[in-house]
Chains A and B, each alone.
Chain A
Amino acid sequence: MPVIQRLFVANRGEIAVRIVRACQRLGIEAVVAVSDVDRNSLAARLATRAVCIGPAAASQSYLRAETLVAAALGSGCQAVHPGYGFLSERPAFARMCEDAGLLFVGPRAQSIEAMGEKLAAVHIAEQAGVPRVPGSDRIETIEDARRAAERIGFPLLIKANAGGGGRGMRLVHEARDLAGAIESAASEARAAFGDPMLYIEKFISLARHVEVQVLGDGKGDVVHLGERDCSTQRRYQKLIEEAPSPVIAERVRRQMTDAAVSLAAQVAYRGAGTVEFVYDPESQKFYFLEMNTRIQVEHPVTEMVTGRDLVVEQIQIAAGEPISFVQKDVELHGHAIECRINAENPARNFMPCPGRIEVWDPPPTGDRLRVDTHCYPGYVVPPHYDSLLAKLIVHSPDRSSAIRSMSEALAGFAVSGVATTIPFHRTVLAHGDFRSAAIHTRWVDQEFLPAMTAATSAAEPPQTQAAV
């Protein structure tokens, strides 16, 4: 008898749909947790059953660990898949599941805990021989910060030890701004994570974000599935991801994937994980940033180039099965790009736009084009959660044809009722800097968007004249 016959999906949106589909592939029943506003969600309709766990507010539904565990037990599930976000990287939730006799589809609680504390993760990386960005240990006083800054040099980044998502992060260019930045970062970190602990790292300008996908069986066996390049970001939020990275040489790729595997093996990592690096194209050096202990939003680009189903692997590993392939069987084919279609208005500073979707007509999917989504015509995007509507993924023999297919796919994606990031993606993909892979993680904020704004205001007559 299979270990997992029924699996509880403790998440919503497109990833809940993705997990239900993986269950269907495995012949497992899926029970989906839904908040009051998600009762009729696509995941709920595709699943064997939906269980309403609470009102719309995430703090009273998707973030309630006790309720989710009770719902999983009460609906007869043997395993819990946390998806990404929400409780996916809370060690207490993983522990609570295992204490209740539920298999947690993810790493052991202590691995999540170790990687969640950024400095602890940096130390594990160092032990595994993975280079870190030149940086400090814990910063407890302004004096600590001054000493570290003197050694590291400016510009530097202040980061939160409990951090993530850019919160508690400050870029400091000069010594006189240091004390103020430390204070505001500490209070932001305390508010966001309940922990004001900070550390400092050298800021690598014109850097790219490159990350390695790994899978571990929890017994020491670890494989990697190549890297993803997620350098197209706005305010530290990824918008476009691709695989492989267009800028790293084969030699660097080998070093980087080796580093990721040895880091994961160091903790006998279990499940899917991502080791993130900052890559400096000028020196061709990479540095450990952090490890994410969950499935990532951008996992489909890896699935496209490797032909492997990462969510299926996650569930099988949780059931105690070995990884279904070995390293030498991992082959990378072609180039994949993913665009995140968010309900945000790029013309209005990416303001979130919840509301009713009237027209929802994605381009036809197939082997070369994939759409991961929970949306349909008439779907109401609730204001309570993140604004991700869909992930559009293309796969082509090479990067330039992938850019071409993505541009066509975006042009053929009709949505009305809510504003989306589709127009933003179309302009980025048409930009020479993106096409020549000359961008860096601050490119959208510092170069692309300011130039767009300037072009728009030059094209429109000034308000005063229009009013006359």
Chain B
Amino acid sequence: MELSHDDVKKILEIVDASEHLQEIELVYGGFRLHVRRGGPGIAASSEERPASLPSSKPAAPVSTQAFPAKQPVEAPLAEGEIAIRAPMLGTFYRSPAPGDPPFVEIGKRVRADDTVCLIEVMKLFSSINAGVDGVVTRIPVENGTMVEFGQMLIVIATSP
């Protein structure tokens, strides 16, 4: 009944390989997959809905958009890259206060003891340090979202 990440990947490969297919929508139980070809590359979107909701209704307010029911998927690290991972579950913040500039941006050089982000659990903020010297190459988490214990927050390319 459940579609795995690999199943979705296979479906995308099939769509990708067929020349005449422009757009498909697949509904499978509580799962909806919408793939459209054309424009800048392929846009793929998928969401999970509570099985009880009919497919025509939009998702409930406290649902999929703000709080994805999906497992975060990690892209692999390139050689020389190091991931800073969440030492605790909490809310991820890129800047010291709302409106302030972020601690780091992609391309910025950081030192091991620089603060790169904050994690908040019930109003308690923890500063997260880079831990290594290098250049920020990726920030795969959106500001203000929940991160799990061990989740990849920021990727740093260490200087050779």
Contact = CB atoms under 8 A, between A and B. Distances in A.
Interface string A25-58: 0011101000010000000000011111111000
Contact of B69 (A66, A69, A76): A76
Contacts of B89: 51-54, 67, 70-71, 74
B149 A52 contact: yes
Given A31-B69, A52-B89, A78-B62, A70 B149 contact: no
B57 to A, nearest CB: 10
Interface majority SS on A: helix, strand, loop or mixed? Answer: mixed
Interface stretch (A1-9, A144-152, A344-352): A1-9
Interface size class of chain A, counting residues whose CB lies under 8 Å from the partner chain: 20 to 34
A61 B122 CA distance: 15
Contact of B148 (A27, A28, A52): A52
Contact of A75 (B60, B69, B151): B69
Given A5-B60, A6-B69, A29 B149 contact: no
B150 to A, nearest CB: 6
Contacts of B150: 36, 52
Given A36-B150, A48-B48, A53-B149, A69 B122 contact: yes
Contacts of B66: 76
Interface in B111-138: 121-122, 124
Contact of B121 (A28, A29, A49, A67): A67
B67 A76 contact: yes
B21 to A, nearest CB: 29
A268 B62 CA distance: 31
B79 to A, nearest CB: 26
A70 B91 contact: yes
Nearest to B124: A66
A29 B67 CA distance: 13
Contacts of B151: 52
A75 B149 CA distance: 14
B5 interface: no
B141 to A, nearest CB: 12
A86 B151 CA distance: 24
Max chain A C-beta neighbours (<10 A), residue from B60, B89, B124: B89
Contacts of B51: 27
Interface residues of B, number: 25
Contact of B146 (A2, A71, A78): A71
A29 B50 contact: yes
A6 to B, nearest CB: 7
A70 B146 contact: yes
B30 to A, nearest CB: 8
Interface majority SS on B: helix, strand, loop or mixed? Answer: loop
Given A27-B50, A70-B91, A36 B63 contact: no
A5 B148 contact: no
B71 interface: yes
B70 interface: yes
A29 B148 contact: no
Interface in A10-29: 27-29
B56 to A, nearest CB: 15
Contacts of A78: 62
Contacts of B91: 70, 74
A70 B149 CA distance: 12
B2 to A, nearest CB: 9
Contacts of B122: 66, 69-70
A263 to B, nearest CB: 35
B149 A76 contact: no
Nearest to B90: A70
B70 A36 contact: no
A75 B67 contact: yes
A53 B150 CA distance: 9
Contacts of A55: 149
B134 to A, nearest CB: 26
A1 B60 contact: yes
Contacts of A52: 89, 148-151
A76 B67 CA distance: 5
Contacts of B145: 74
Interface string B42-62: 000000101110000000101
A2 B52 CA distance: 10
Interface string A59-81: 00100001101110111101000
A459 to B, nearest CB: 50
A138 B17 CA distance: 77
A334 to B, nearest CB: 33
A49 B149 contact: no
A29 B51 CA distance: 8
B88 interface: yes
Interface of A: 1-2, 5-6, 27-29, 31, 36, 48-55, 61, 66-67, 69-71, 73-76, 78
Given A53-B149, A74-B145, 17 more contacts: A5-B62, A6-B63, A27-B52, A28-B50, A29-B50, A50-B71, A51-B146, A52-B148, A55-B149, A67-B89, A70-B89, A70-B91, A70-B122, A74-B146, A76-B67, A76-B69, A78-B62
